[in-house]
Amino acid sequence: MTYGAKTGKVTIRTHRFLAAAYDRLNAGTERRILAPWRKRLVGDLHGEIVEVGAGTGATFACYPSGASVLALEPDPAMLAQAQRKLGEGIAHITLRLGGDDELDRLPASSADAVVFFLVLCSIDDPARALRRARRVLRPNGSLLIIEHVRSAGLLGTVQDALTPLWSRLTCGCHLNRRTVDTLAEAGFDAETLSAVHLPIPFPVRDLVAGALRAREEPLRSIARRFA
């Protein structure tokens, strides 16, 4: 399925079965590791928040009442699951069918935070998605991430080999993305970025979680000094 906005196209593989089973498949990891990280990262947010790739809406219940959230999800099957969780949260949440290209429709510097949780592994072009997020973030806004990344050593080699098949079976998920490098190349500096290890040996073991801020562009920082 190709979901298209005016500004570019995003290829989405709809997975009805995966969407229906997603929460059950992840229940253990969600309870022990992911849910506490979600709460820690978004629990104190306020203002305008954009969540990219909201999936089944696992983060919705974690947003506080002061947050106004635009949640984007391009897979209609995932979106249907997320719709059921809209009532669980206390924040004002608007759920919209759309991929990271929807960020191009939002005004520049309009978001206090952009949230990517377990989604940079699935987005076709994560560097472009991060550039899109950067444009939308206010100067002091936060990019919040929880992402699994390519592991070092033999496991990384296995992840490289397994990714083509894995990606077909899941919603385009890549086991072997070097997301920390991609974030740095997209101009984000870590404010708090933690390495998180899942208590399973395979196929995903290493995650990164935390908050990043966009590095000020050199020209803008010079202009500010002389203003």
Ligand X SMILES: C[S@@+](CC[C@H](N)C(=O)[O-])C[C@H]1O[C@@H](n2cnc3c(N)ncnc32)[C@H](O)[C@@H]1O
In the complex, the residues that contact ligand X under the rule CB under 6 A are 10, 12, 52-55, 58, 72-75, 78, 99-100, 117-119, 122-124, 171-173
Cβ at position 118, least distance to ligand X in Å: 4
Q: Are 54 and 71 in contact (CB under 8 A)?
A: yes
Residue type, 37: W
Q: Could you tell me the smallest distance in angstroms from the CB atom of residue 82 to ligand X?
A: 8
**Based on CB atoms, which residue is closest to ligand X, 74 or 141?**
74
Residue nearest to ligand X (CB): 55
Nearer to ligand X, 50 or 180 (CB): 50
Report the residue number, 2 or 140, with the smaller CB distance to ligand X: 2
Pick 51 or 222: Cβ nearer ligand X: 51
As measured in angstroms, the least distance from the Cβ of 55 to ligand X is 2
CA dihedral 59, 65, 68, 71 (to 10 degrees): 20
For 192-198, the CB contacts below 8 A with 24+ separation are 196/33, 196/37, 196/146, 198/29, 198/33, 198/148
- Where residue 31 falls (left for φ over 0; alpha for ψ -120 to 50; beta otherwise) is alpha
Q: Quickly tell me which residue has 């801020």 as its tokens.
A: 213
Contact predicate 132/99, CB 8 Å: no
Distance separating alpha carbons of residues 173 and 118, to the nearest angstrom: 9
Q: Is 3 helix (H, G, I), strand (E, B) or coil?
A: strand
Give 86 or 222: the residue with its C-beta nearer to ligand X. Answer: 86
To ligand X, the closest distance from the beta carbon of 157 in angstroms equals 23
Q: Of 156 and 172, which has the nearer Cβ to ligand X?
A: 172
Q: Which positions ≥6 away from 153 have C-beta within 8 Å?
A: none
| Least distance between ligand X and beta carbon 73 (Å) | 6
What is the smallest separation between the CB atom of 193 and ligand X, expressed in angstroms?
17
